[in-house]
A = this chain, B = another copy of it.
């Protein structure tokens, strides 16, 4: 099956410039058919910069754009012709099999939810993000779709995360943990205490390893970590904030001495490799899991390289049938 990816060309801080460029790269490097959705004249102006002969890139018109600051619900009601809405429609109609969007996360989620619906048995979709660890990375969900959660939802997140991890990332029998403030059972708030009890009973279908603390998560103790969207979003932003602060503090200390500047220059390749290992652009974007369809949400600051990787990720999620696996795993776990 050939997988076509619909890309919201107007979403993100650097749209359409970097989005169109990323789409061209994905079409060229990975031979992925693409639909670019947005204002045609703007997309054409960007496409004109590249030699796209032989590339399978279609344009789909959408004259409105939902900004990052707009409340998703009312924006979707008002702007029926927004690029994110039309991009979702392309997937709903079967013209594309997956969606990539780097604009408002809330709008992408709401548009997908209304346009494509939820997977059976899934109460609410979740945003999954890959965080760097000493080892490889850990898939954390929910990273912000649901600021209040029930234990049953965290169990569904575990199913979705485990499926994605094994299917797309090729992790065998992914280790699933609950993000908590202590290792022992009984630690934490009622939500995680009750989630512990549910996951403990699903050991045959989920490789549940118990509670995981923030420190251990980054040491690579597990492959999937579940939490409510408030805790997950705070964790995501704290992770970005601390990594940035450490590098900035180092830079400011280096700038105080010529000798240190020389040392840092010599060690720069190592520093760059380290930065690359913690760089979210390598993963291309967050995943909207639990939607009847495939949706990758790029960081608002995504540049072409991140968009290219997001498109590749979206294609792989379809080809490896993540959603089918989620449903099968859910069925299996029901009978435990």
Q: Which of A9-17, A37-45, A211-219, A318-326 sits within the interface?
A: A211-219
| Contact between B241 and A243, CB atoms less than 8 A apart | no
The secondary-structure label for the interface of chain A is: helix
Residues of chain B contacted by A260 (CB below 8 angstroms): 266-267, 269-270
On A, residues with C-beta under 8 Å from B are 132-134, 144, 147-148, 179, 181, 188-190, 213-219, 227, 229-231, 233-250, 253-254, 256-257, 259-260, 262-271, 273-274, 277-278
Identify A263's interface contact among B188, B237, B242, B265, CB under 8 A. Answer: B265
| Contact between B214 and A234, CB atoms less than 8 A apart | yes
Assuming the contacts A234-B234, A278-B246, asked whether A148 and B264 have C-beta atoms less than 8 A apart, the reply is no
Residues of chain B contacted by A238 (CB below 8 angstroms): 214-215, 217-218, 235, 238-239, 242
Measured CB to CB, the nearest residue on chain B to A264 is B267
Assuming the contacts A249-B278, A268-B263, A274-B249, asked whether A234 and B237 have C-beta atoms less than 8 A apart, the reply is no
| Contact between A250 and B235, CB atoms less than 8 A apart | no
Residues of chain B contacted by A273 (CB below 8 angstroms): 253, 256
Shortest distance in angstroms between A81's beta carbon and chain B's nearest beta carbon? 26
